[in-house]
Structure 1
Amino acid sequence: MSERFQGRVAFVTGGSRGIGKAIVEQFAKEGAKVAFIDLNEEALHETTNELKEKGYEVYSKVANVCDYEQVEKSVEEIVELFGSIDILVNNAGVIRDNLLFKMTENDWDTVMDVHLKGSFNSARAVQSHMVSKKYGRIVNISSTSALGNRGQANYATAKAGLQGFTKTLAIELGKYGITSNSVAPGFIETEMTKETAARIGIPFDELIKASVSRIPVARSGKPSDIANAVAFFADEQSSFVNGQVIYVAGGPKD
């Protein structure tokens, strides 16, 4: 594994499980010091211990991305410990799927808060550190659901909103050496897609099989597939790639 992130500090929200964990591991393997926050205390401690046992430099904390003070405090502690934050990955997310007539106001607000306010809070907290260094990489995790998906009016709207957020940050921050891009995963085998299978009442294996039947590369996605795309955007050599959305879904998305 290369050391392309040697000397860099990567901060990942929702970094304890699934896609977030794979992203954290990718950065650590490639030489970065890694920091992540999560609300899942058990998963956070488990992932932290796994990484430390492998000799990686890690900061982790139970924190809510919806609370700016908690995010800001975490950012201050990361900078104090590691000296900077060079890469931010806004990955924290939740689902509250339901058809529109069944969707509650709380279902809507929760998804908006975590995906949109959470990403805003984290970007706002790190931007001054990146601006002062004239260097930064911001990667927001969107979804193919941004194009519309049955039962996900809240999630689809939030993920589409993240793409607009990404493009606006690219315009505002580009002159400071900070790029902002977005990765939009298709079907990825994670705890979240297991929850989807449970919600619609089918075994996870059946959901995987049904999804693969519609994917041109004839396989489901893994968290490492997303981590690889994030690493491309975060690479120092990707400095002319800014304000872009890449769909990592095993095929084209309209």
Structure 2
Amino acid sequence: MTDLRAALRRAVSDTAEPGAAELYHALAEALLDSAAEDEGPAELERVKSRVYRLRIASNGRARSFVLKRFDPWLARRNELVARRWLPAIGLGERCPRLLATAADRRGECVWHVYEDLGEGAVDAVHPDPARVRAVVDLIAELHTRAAGHALLPECRHFCGDLGAPFFAANVRDAIAVLEGLVPPRVAPTPEQGALRGRLLLRLYRLRDELPGRVQRLETLGGPETLLHGDLWTTNTFVATTGDALVARLIDWDHTAVGPASYDLSTF
């Protein structure tokens, strides 16, 4: 085993994450050259829960990758976005490239290995207008190209719907939960009881307004399309390519089908 492969194995194993052995083999197969590598090292930095940044140096090159651990169903969703749905509408280059996947042998998780886009998120406090414009243009392009696309039923099957059915179901679920918070199941304080009452009154009004709200959403909410579903500025990246700004979107965990206005409400 070369020095770099040994360093990579140690770095991955030291995380004590599930699926570490499978992840190492996927990384070695997908990222390391077949020629002997002895430069190293391999450095693994924990970015947040389930997410790591891997830096390796081999054959005089420094490379960086993002490793992310998913529940299996969520891994499948993100894989479909990167390898099927975005390429089908001509936007396959507008998300990080998915370089490798590794499934834990017990079926508990799946690792994804992505190219590292670096530090290019839109600054939410001091946004640069040109960068914001690049992201807005990409969002508009996503919604326009995916609207009415033949793959939308497949997207809905795997990811669900964030349109009117989603809104109506959440109102009903919230009412059911709050109506169940009564003695003897729970013993709320007077303040908690009053809060529960206020919330229920508001939810009852929303339930009574559902027909009108659904009609307005269908009329004014924009075309049904593929949604990112979580358009915080931290999920937007803008890089300078030549003389142009190129935007990309990351973290498609909440992607679904629904009206374009849903994405606009979260950006």
TM-score range, shorter chain: under 0.3
Q: TM-score, normalised by structure 1?
A: 0.24
More strand by share: 2
**Larger Rg computed on CA atoms:** 2
Q: TM-score, normalised by structure 2?
A: 0.24
